[in-house]
């Protein structure tokens, strides 16, 4: 091993049984995906004391054969001390920290690795989902290990590689181009919101109807005043509490906002995304960015850059790969008028959280009403495979041609394909997994997908809304 070579360190926990929504890849397959890294990196398995609480090293190390260069014991200690000790352990292996990566499902270890000078990548294993709330907001997140491996190969300089694409993307937006970019909700397809010709390309590429308005994204709350004629006190309180984040506010628009953005309405939908790269793109472009989800109109929303490329390859000027979207479901859209707070579209911010700021909240308008909010047409978010929505999917568990989309682990054996949104019944985890799970089932060539409704509270309101718009019907023919 050459002195000072770059390396990828993998916490053994990322080889544990993957989350069901990822497609159920076996640890040996995940290890095989690492083969492409060997030309440029040494690979080390990281573990605490050989068989620590991170999941154990025996299986992954054995399965890796000669893929791994060796074992990196993890030191103990508090966060700051852990970074120092980890850096010392890594350098003792003859590895330079700059340009190296640390892949884990433990926020504390990812933070320590970044403090030691590595690029930390976070995997959404079951434990990774459970601890996601403790993770720093700017850390790259991935559904599974193969996704992280592909990202490393495409971004050898880590965040610096992404920053270079963001700069190119901002230049593309300034000259009227389209850029696919990550947010905490789903990936967006963005254009200069004040350039009607550029915005028209969004509708053309997506084949989106012109009566479906777009959301305008800003990098700072101060930018909203240039887009709207009034910001009610309730809107300011909501911005202070939930921005940046998955909340869109519908406010009276200024004449500077083109009618094509708002579908001719006198209001504009505005939000400030939480994703660092989205805000950096908007700031460098020096203009607000209009963006719907970066997918073909009416189809399942993308939560990774790969999802975007599968549907829109070659139809955008740049794509920024920021890993997986943490929330995984579109923003909540609110209208504020006459002292009323009305949810136009349920999304990544639960109604219960909004009530803490505004008091009473009126829930969504009837399906298909559309209007000033995007994503409200009766048919939306649909996979190509016919999807049926039921209260209990168990009667269809013995059909091998049927895929089941379940909220939590099934109580018994199932013959067909199953995607579980949250094994332990966590609605935030279920929301983050929804589109990833739908896409996996949609790729399997099944006759149909049967989805169960989730509990109708919290983010369950948004999940059920998306499933109801994606469905082909409520009655399943037995033939």
Per-residue pLDDT band at 65 (split at 50, 70, 90)? low
pTM: 0.90
pLDDT band at residue 79, thresholds of 50, 70 and 90? low
Spatial distance between the Cα atoms of 430 and 89, rounded to a whole number of angstroms: 37
- The pLDDT, as a whole number, for residue 74 is 82
CA-closest candidate to residue 227, choices 197, 242, 206, 248: 248
What's the mean pLDDT when you consider all of the chain? 88
Question: 342 CB contacts (<8 Å, ≥6 apart)?
Answer: 334, 335, 336, 361, 362, 365
Length of the chain: 479
pLDDT in tens, 150-203: 999 999 999 999 999 999 999 999 999 999 999 999 999 999 999 999 999 999
Burial 120-131 (b: 16+ CB within 10 A, else e): bbbbbbbbbbeb
Q: Residue 220 has what DSSP assignment?
A: S
pLDDT single digits (tens) 212-271: 999 999 999 999 999 999 999 999 999 999 999 999 999 999 999 999 999 999 999 999
What order of strands is seen across the sheet that includes strand 387-390?
Answer: 387-390, 448-452, 402-406, 418-420
Neighbours of 221 (CB within 10 A): 15
Report the distance separating Cα 141 and Cα 375, nearest Å. 26
Tens-digit pLDDT profile for residues 443-469: 999 999 999 999 999 999 999 999 998
pLDDT confidence tier of residue 52, bands split at 50, 70 and 90: very low
How far, in whole angstroms, is CA 166 from its chain's centroid?
A: 18
Give 84-101 pLDDT, tens digit per residue.
888 888 888 889 899 999
d(CA 117, CA 5): 14
Distance of alpha carbon 17 from the chain centroid: 21
Contacts of 188 (CB under 8 A, 6+ apart): 180, 181, 182, 217, 278, 289, 291, 292, 293, 294
DSSP of 61-104: HHHHTTS--EEEEPPP--HHHHHHHHHHHHHTTTB-STT-EEEE
- Tokens representing 54 are 């991170």
- In angstroms, the CA 341 to CA 117 distance is 46
Query: In a 3-state reduction of DSSP, which class is residue 334?
Result: strand
Span 130-148, average pLDDT: 94
Phi, psi of 107 (to 5 degrees): -55, -35
pLDDT of residue 377: 67
Instruction: Yes or no: say if 113 and 120 are a contact pair by the CB < 8 Å rule.
Output: yes
pLDDT band at residue 412 under the 50/70/90 scheme: confident
The dihedrals phi and psi of 38, each to the nearest 5 degrees, come to -65, -25
Question: Of 19-28, 29-38, 359-368, where does mean pLDDT reach its minimum?
Answer: 19-28
């Amino acid at each position: 091993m050459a002195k000072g070579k770059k390396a990828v360190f993998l916490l053994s926990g990322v080889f544990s049984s993957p989350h069901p929504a990822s497609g159920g890849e076996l640890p040996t397959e995940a290890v095989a995906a690492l083969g492409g890294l060997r030309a440029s990196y040494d690979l080390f398995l990281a573990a605490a004391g050989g068989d620590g609480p991170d999941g154990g090293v025996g299986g992954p190390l054995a399965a890796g054969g000669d893929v791994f260069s060796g074992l990196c014991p993890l030191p103990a200690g508090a966060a700051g001390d852990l970074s120092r000790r980890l850096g010392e352990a890594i350098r003792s292996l003859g590895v330079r920290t700059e340009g190296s990566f640390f892949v884990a499902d433990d926020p504390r270890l990812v933070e320590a690795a970044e403090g030691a000078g590595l690029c930390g990548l976070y995997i959404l294993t079951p434990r990774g989902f459970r601890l996601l709330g403790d993770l720093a907001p700017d850390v790259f997140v991935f559904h599974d290990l193969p996704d992280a491996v592909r990202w490393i190969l495409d971004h050898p300089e880590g965040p610096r590689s992404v920053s270079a694409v963001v700069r190119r993307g901002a230049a593309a937006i300034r000259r009227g181009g389209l850029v696919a970019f990550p947010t905490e909700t789903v990936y967006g397809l963005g254009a200069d919101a004040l350039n009607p010709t550029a915005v028209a390309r969004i509708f053309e590429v997506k084949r989106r109807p012109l009566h479906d308005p777009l959301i305008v994204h800003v990098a700072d709350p101060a930018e909203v005043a240039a887009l709207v004629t009034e910001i009610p006190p309730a809107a300011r309180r909501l911005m202070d509490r939930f921005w940046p984040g998955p909340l869109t506010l519908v406010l009276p628009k200024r004449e500077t906002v083109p009618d094509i953005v708002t579908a001719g309405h006198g209001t504009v939908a505005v939000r400030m995304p939480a994703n660092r790269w989205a805000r950096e793109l908007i700031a460098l472009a020096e203009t607000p960015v209009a963006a719907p989800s970066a997918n073909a109109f009416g189809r399942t929303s993308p939560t990774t850059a790969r999802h975007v490329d599968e549907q829109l390859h070659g139809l955008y000027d740049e794509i920024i790969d920021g890993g997986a979207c943490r929330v995984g479901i579109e923003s909540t859209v609110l209208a504020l008028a006459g002292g009323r707070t009305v949810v136009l579209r349920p999304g990544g911010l639960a109604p219960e959280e909004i009530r803490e700021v505004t008091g009473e909240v009126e829930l969504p308008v009837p399906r298909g009403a559309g209007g000033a909010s995007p994503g409200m047409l009766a048919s939306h978010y649909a996979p190509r495979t016919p999807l049926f929505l039921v209260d209990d999917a168990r009667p269809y568990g013995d059909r091998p041609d049927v895929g089941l989309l379940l909220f939590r682990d099934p109580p018994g054996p199932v013959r067909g394909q199953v995607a579980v949104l949250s094994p332990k019944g966590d609605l935030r985890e279920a929301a983050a997994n929804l589109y990833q799970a739908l896409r996996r089932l949609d790729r399997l060539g099944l006759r149909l997908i049967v989805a169960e409704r989730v509990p109708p509270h919290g983010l369950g309101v948004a999940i059920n809304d998306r499933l109801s718009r994606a469905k082909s019907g409520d009655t399943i023919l037995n033939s």
